[in-house]
Amino acid sequence: MGQNNYQGALQKPIGSGFNAASTTTEVIKGIDLTGKIAIITGGYAGIGLETTKTLLAAGATVIVPARDINKAKKNLAGLESVEMASMDLMNPASIDTFIEKFLASGRPLHLLINNAGIMWVPLLGIAVGMNRNYQPIIWGIFNSLQGYGLPSKWLMAQG
Amino acid sequence: MGHFQLTARLWPALKMAHGARVVNVSSYGHQMASFNFDDPNFEHREYATLLGYGQSKTANNLFAVELDNRSQYFQVRAYAVHPGSVNDTDLGREAPIELFKQMGTHSDDGKIRPEVAATLKTIPQGAATTVWCATSPMLNHIGGVYCEDADIAELDSGNIEHRYDDPSSLRGVQPYSVEEEAAKRLWKLSEEMTGLSFQVD
């Protein structure tokens, strides 16, 4: 019987030996993913693309569902053991189509990385919030600039 | 909701792997808002991007907590990740450069200022926590946790000083985003909204 993390019971650093400056190359060192299958949403751009490359280099087969398949093909060109398929996370029917195809292949799924989509929320917010006040614009821009995380001096500027 | 649907319907394949992991890329942005069950879609209050974003990230964390609780008996573990503030992702190209210049993050030639870039992570640093959660043997017997900087994050019970002029102080996980009742309630809501019954068995 394992423990769960309710109320943050397990939220304690374990002294992994890594820190904010650690890179994918460092954390994957010594790990062999031969025979493992991964699905990475948004695995064709930004940190998703980096995650795809890292898992491929460790021996995994990586499947990248893509909203923009041409962009995926371009960004993933030349990489071996990568499979691409059309899928739009905003469209439930397209998710089902993607899944049915994967399940029909009869393969297990060792790693599911839910990486994509969330960053578009603040971008959407730019359009929605444009006429309201300045704050959503700042927030949206920050996220579109840096992908994730909080603004530092811009948040302060908002008061 | 897309990721809930994806995970739910991929469950048979995850179970078949005998030791699968699910990693939800979340963010420190969860600190901005708890999940509002009375009005999750902003139908009865003015939409505010800060709150919408924070709420969606909190949802990522709650989903990892509840998924791990249900799935660990089938050797499937779940994690939530804050990648850090990352420079040079693909997203910057979508926004007008004039605004970045106005904010002072970018110079007139459209390049990010070195002093701003120095406080941000590179892409290989930004993806490191995702890769660590997906593969590290140190996590073989632990799950449902929110991670940052390739380690498990500390619970933020008001003990962490968040200074907006120092990105390294923007850390920790809010208790409301790992809370049991909210995690179970969100699971139910996700099932209702997607029309899917996600039975982990």
- Cβ neighbours of A47 in B, within 8 Å: 25, 83, 86, 89, 123, 126-127, 130
- Cβ neighbours of B91 in A, within 8 Å: 46, 119, 123, 143-145, 147
Res. A1 pLDDT band, cuts 50 70 90: low
Nearest CA in chain A to B196: A92
Which residues does chain B have with pLDDT short of 50? 90-94
Q: How far is B111 from chain A (nearest CA, A)?
A: 12
* pLDDT of amino acid B96: 55
Q: The complex's ipTM?
A: 0.89
- Cβ neighbours of A51 in B, within 8 Å: 127, 130-131, 134
- Cβ neighbours of B72 in A, within 8 Å: 2, 4
pLDDT tens per residue across span B42-88: 778 777 666 777 788 888 899 999 999 999 999 999 999 998 877 65
Q: Which of A23, A144, A155 sits opposite B94 (nearest CB)?
A: A144
Secondary structure, 3-state, B53-117: HHHHHHHHHHHHHHHHHHHHHHCCEEEEEECCCECCCHHHHHCCHHHHHHHCCECCCCCECHHHH
pLDDT tens per residue across span A99-135: 999 999 999 999 999 998 544 333 333 333 332 333 3
Q: How far is A47 from chain B (nearest CA, A)?
A: 5
Q: Is the pLDDT of residue A40 over 90?
A: yes
CA distances from B173 to A2, A25, A46, B30, B62 (A): 21, 26, 24, 8, 11
Interchain CB contacts (distance < 8 Å): A and B: 326
Tell me, yes or no, if B47 is annotated catalytic. no
Amino acid in the structure at residue A59: G
B20 to A150: CB separation less than 8 angstroms, yes or no: no
Residues B52, B49: Cα–Cα separation, whole Å: 5
Instruction: Decide the pairing of beta strands B145-148 and B151-152.
Output: antiparallel
Q: Which of B121, B126, B138 sits opposite A16 (nearest CB)?
A: B138
The position carrying tokens 């990522």 is: B60
